[in-house]
Chains A and B, each alone.
Chain A
Amino acid sequence: MHPAFSVVFFTTATGAGYGLLALLGVLAGQGFIPPDFWLGLTGMGLALGLISTGLLSSAGHLGRPERAWRAFSQWRSSWLSREGVASVATFVPAGLFGIGWVVLGRTSGWAAVAGLLAAIGAVATVCTTGMIYASLKPIAQWHSRFTLPAYLVFSAMTGSVLLNALLQGFAAGSNMLLAAALLLTALGWGLKLATWRYNDRLEIPTNANTATGLSGGTVRSLEWPHTEENYLLKEMGFRIARKHSAKLRQITQVLAFALPALLLVAAFALPWPYAAALSILAAIAQLAGMLVERWLFFAEAKHTVTLYYGR
């Protein structure tokens, strides 16, 4: 599948943003994070900023973005529509929670309820994003039991690493949160390795024989219907060289998992402000690594239409 930057950025940014929003909503609402003005402004600004730029980026890849409002109508059948509804609905409690925290200086009472609702909305939205990909049968690498958990775990992982960086930056960090960020990074790493292992051994029943209805023997593409690449090949026929894929997987492992984990471990041992600097570096490295991970998620996914082109 063609890795369009708008969609790569959208899923990575909103994943991190919703993860951060959910953690802020729950932890600040339950009194684990002080209702500090600057902390609230930066944290909620970062979470809602990531979500909003991500959503705008996804709207940017539409052919007719001025009609995007129509996408809220088909939530009965379409995961994309459900994602639209969930993402917009989440802005309501998230906005109230942000107003409570930043404007009124309170994160308890009704603000805590709004925070909890925002967290539920955030998790629901990430689920819908994961299901958009997991529900697509023609793309076997996505239509697997790994896709939805990956979206949820990566959202929690990037969200927790961001929250740790934020709190460390405000000298309000805790070993508990550092440990949580570290554990989630390890969990994300394990899940990604398991997904790659699964995808590399994937054998699907669909092949050139079933695609053409010609049973038995081998079916070889002699001639395409067209001389140049058409929409289908540009959009769904993207191919990545095996050596590039291997290198990018290594880059993903270093940037998204290994380096952040090392930096977080070091942050345990060092005092503020060194721990804060390392935590912020860990968050930046991980987000960069997740962009590479998401690029590969698209680039390594093979659509069944490529079978018609002998690919």
Chain B
Amino acid sequence: MTCLPTHTDKKLGLVIDLDTCVGCQACVTACKEWNTGGHMAPLTDIDPYGGNVDGVWFNRVHSYEHMTEMGGRTVNFPRSCLHCETPACVTVCPTGASYKRASDGIVLVDEDKCIGCKLCSWACPYGAREFDTNVGVMKKCTLCVDRIYNDNLAEEDRVPACVAACPTSARHFGDLGDPASAISQLVAERGGVDLMPEMGYKPTNKYLPPRAHTTRAASVPAPALEAVQAEGGFLGWVDRMLSN
């Protein structure tokens, strides 16, 4: 049913730290690697070694230059499904293939019901959904439903593949519906924001803005330079002897 649940028990989602993301694309490849064998498999690649590379990805990392009066900085920006609270991609679906789970708020596509009309991708302001031309159905981020509840994985691995892969811990996973959860507190502490709040989709995922610029110099503890002229003591004596 493409009507939205009035309430979800949890609001599972991601928090992405734009301050620490280095744009290494590890989350992108980890996502592709897991999901091409996962719930929405395959993530088809078309002409992967040719001149017109195309394919389905759930996670894409952009790079932007953010210029303010404080100066400019490069911001790496991972973009994936935000598992919105009021996702129009679900309500526009004519077949019931798209749905939002009442248990945890994850937005999924039932590949067996999708007719590939692409309307959901038009309804998503964020470009989270990508059409698989080979299979003829729409695909999207599953928040790794096949990892986060997977008893066959060690408990610490029961997080989305992108979160597990991030080398700078820029990606966090948890229940954003629980104000006491670590992830909710992180959002509160760092002033996490919604993307395009004016659209009214109420995204679950939050983005932590880069920390403010500082006026002091970079605090890199470089060692003090050695004196050119060796002074007294044994080494000084050796130096004087050898210099003669």
Interface residues of A (CB under 8 A from B): 1, 61-65, 67-68, 70-74, 76-81, 84, 132, 135-139, 205-206, 208, 210-232, 235-236, 303-305, 308-309
Contact = CB atoms under 8 A, between A and B. Distances in A.
12 contacts: A64-B137, A73-B95, A77-B92, A132-B119, A206-B199, A208-B64, A210-B198, A217-B66, A219-B65, A232-B121, A236-B121, A304-B126
A286 B45 CA distance: 43
B53 to A, nearest CB: 5
A222 B209 contact: no
Given A70-B97, A210-B198, A214-B18, 5 more contacts: A62-B115, A70-B95, A73-B96, A206-B198, A221-B62
A214 B122 contact: no
Contacts of B199: 137-138, 206, 304
Interface string B90-104: 111111110000000
A78 B18 contact: no
Contacts of B74: 222
A225 B61 contact: yes
A138 B123 contact: yes
Contact of A70 (B53, B63, B96): B96
Contacts of B40: none
B66 A218 contact: yes
B123 A64 contact: no
Interface residues of B, number: 70
Contacts of A135: 88, 92
A205 B197 CA distance: 10
B173 to A, nearest CB: 18
B165 interface: no
Nearest to B66: A214
B121 to A, nearest CB: 6
A231 B198 contact: no
Interface string B61-96: 111111111000011010100000000101111111
Contacts of A215: 193, 209
B69 A70 contact: no
Given A68-B115, A226-B60, A74 B66 contact: no
B73 to A, nearest CB: 9
Contacts of B113: 67, 70
A252 to B, nearest CB: 23
A214 B95 contact: no
Interface of B: 1-4, 18, 25, 28, 51-57, 60-69, 74-75, 77, 79, 88, 90-97, 113-119, 121-127, 130-133, 135-138, 193-200, 207, 209-210
B56 A74 contact: no
A137 B121 contact: no
Given A63-B114, A74-B94, A214 B125 contact: no
A213 B18 contact: yes
A74 B2 contact: yes
Nearest to A73: B96
A250 to B, nearest CB: 28
A232 B130 contact: yes
Contacts, number: 200
Q: Which of B63, B75, B127 has the most CB of A within 10 A?
A: B127
Given A77-B91, A230-B130, A222 B65 contact: yes
A81 B90 CA distance: 12
Smallest CB-CB A-B distances: 4 pairs: A63-B116, A63-B136, A217-B68, A305-B127
B117 A62 contact: yes
Contacts of A228: 51-54
Contacts of B88: 135-137
Contacts of A139: 122
A246 to B, nearest CB: 26
A63 B131 contact: yes
A68 B94 CA distance: 9
Given A212-B77, A217-B68, A235 B124 contact: no
Given A62-B116, A76-B3, A210 B195 contact: yes
A303 B127 CA distance: 9
B193 to A, nearest CB: 4
Given A63-B137, A205-B198, A213-B207, A308 B62 contact: yes
Contacts of A68: 115
Contacts of A218: 66-67
A236 B123 CA distance: 11
B115 A70 contact: yes
A219 B122 contact: no
B133 A223 contact: no
Given A64-B136, A213-B207, A215-B209, A78 B93 contact: yes
Contacts of A205: 198
A71 B53 contact: no
A41 B77 CA distance: 60
A135 B198 CA distance: 15
A51 B106 CA distance: 38
